[in-house]
Amino acid sequence: MPTKQQSLFVWEESTVVCIYHCDLKLHFISVL
């Protein structure tokens, strides 16, 4: 059970990072 919760936390964190980077990319493109 703890391992599943841990992996879920890691998955959520990586998703947030991905969204953040995608947002940064879109902002950069819109600025150009």
Domain extents for the chain?
A: 1-32
CA distances from 19 to 2, 3, 7, 24, 30 (A): 26, 24, 18, 9, 16
pLDDT reported for residue 21: 86
Q: Report the predicted TM-score, pTM, of the whole model to 2 decimal places.
A: 0.44
Average pLDDT of each block of 10 consecutive residues along the chain (32 residues)?
68 82 86 78
Distance CA 12, CA 26 (A): 21
- Which DSSP letter does residue 32 get? -
- Which DSSP letter does residue 1 get? -
Helices (H), 1-32: 2-31
